[in-house]
């Protein structure tokens, strides 16, 4: 019993955990190894050589599947929404905060395979890790059962948000700033990474947003995307928006 507890504290996820997760997902995997990979963080794979690959490639694929399914749903169900509003709505539905919530609701955090360091530093509740695992799970379903099964899962999980998609406000500072700047075609907007610090499990990025050669905003966050959003937010505030 103590041995099992020790494994768990080191980020171990046993077959019972995976079967429980599969049950909550609502999909019966033919190849459970795909689900195991989906909950394997890079820190675990690096710390346990020979334990299998991490979920980064699945995350890449799942992000694309999620984006397509969400875009298709919005396109079909909201024919009067212009392209810009469709883009903002999709971004709100699949942002890190939303995906983290979906992942938490499925109990993914309890099943993650993490390194000792990642586990001890709160990796099971870290939004970026949970969001990435959710996308990896989508890819695992897609590879195991095809697009229709992945689509069923995505729409079932997103259903409550999809119903109110049109009325949910979304603060996409980058898009808002771009729309303002592009009114003057000669102006050039650029996001520049100026700093990166911290260990792999707790990175911090700093970004500047440049208008031509002038710095008009600075921001920081746990991901480059978050830092860029914060830099754009500061720029909008300085511009009086």
Residue of 17, 59, 63, 226 with catalytic role: 63
Residue of 96, 135, 228, 234 with catalytic role: 135
Residue 15, pLDDT score? 62
Residue 2, pLDDT score? 34
* Alpha carbon distance 163, 165 (integer Å): 6
How would you write the pLDDT of the chain (241 residues) with one tens digit per residue? 333 333 444 454 556 688 999 999 999 999 999 999 999 998 888 888 766 789 999 999 999 999 999 999 999 988 887 887 888 888 888 989 899 999 999 999 999 998 888 888 888 999 999 999 999 999 999 999 999 999 999 999 998 877 666 544 456 889 989 989 888 888 899 999 999 998 877 788 999 999 998 999 999 988 898 899 999 999 998 888 7
Q: What is the dihedral of CA 148, 153, 157, 160, to 10 degrees?
A: 30
DSSP 222: S
Residue 16, pLDDT score? 63
Q: Are 234 and 219 in contact (CB under 8 A)?
A: yes
Measured between alpha carbons, how far apart are the two ends of the chain, in Å? 59
Q: pTM, whole model, 2 decimals?
A: 0.66
Q: Which of 170, 108, 162, 113 is nearest to 135 (CA)?
A: 108
DSSP 241: -
185 sits in the region (left: phi over 0; alpha: psi -120 to 50; else beta) called alpha
Residue 211 CB partners (closer than 8 Å, separation 6+): 181, 187, 188, 189, 235
Residue 7 CB partners (closer than 8 Å, separation 6+): 14
Residue 87, pLDDT score? 85
* Alpha carbon distance 165, 159 (integer Å): 10
Half-sphere exposure (Cβ direction) of 127: Cα atoms closer than 13 Å: 12
Please indicate whether residue 80 is annotated as part of the active site. Answer: no
Q: 111-132: buried (b, 16+ CB within 10 Å) or exposed (e) per residue?
A: bbbbbeebbeeebbebbbbbbb
Residue 164, pLDDT score? 64
The single residue listed with the structure tokens 């907007």 is: 189
Please indicate whether residue 135 is annotated as part of the active site. Answer: yes
Residue 234, pLDDT score? 93
């Amino acid at each position: 019993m103590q041995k099992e507890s020790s494994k768990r504290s080191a980020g171990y996820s046993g077959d019972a955990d995976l079967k429980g997760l599969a049950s909550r997902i609502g999909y019966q995997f033919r190849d459970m190894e795909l689900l195991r990979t989906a909950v394997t963080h890079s820190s675990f794979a690096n710390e346990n050589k020979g334990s299998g690959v991490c979920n980064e490639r699945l995350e890449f694929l799942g992000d694309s599947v999620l984006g397509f399914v969400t875009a298709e749903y919005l396109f079909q169900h909201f024919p009067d929404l212009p392209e810009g509003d469709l883009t903002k709505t999709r971004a709100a539905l699949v942002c890190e905060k939303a995906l983290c919530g979906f992942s938490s609701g499925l109990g993914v955090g309890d099943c993650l395979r993490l390194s000792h360091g990642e586990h001890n530093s709160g990796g099971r509740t870290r939004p970026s890790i949970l969001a990435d695992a959710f996308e990896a799970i989508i890819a695992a379903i897609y590879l195991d059962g095809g697009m229709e099964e992945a689509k069923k899962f995505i729409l079932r999980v997103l259903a409550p948000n999809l119903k109110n998609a049109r009325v949910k406000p979304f603060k996409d500072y980058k898009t808002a700033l771009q729309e303002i700047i592009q009114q003057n075609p000669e102006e050039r907007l650029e996001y520049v990474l100026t700093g990166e610090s911290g260990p792999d499990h707790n990175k911090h990025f700093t970004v500047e947003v440049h208008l031509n050669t002038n710095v008009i905003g600075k921001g920081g966050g746990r991901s480059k995307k978050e830092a860029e959003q914060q830099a754009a937010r500061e720029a909008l505030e300085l511009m009086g928006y």
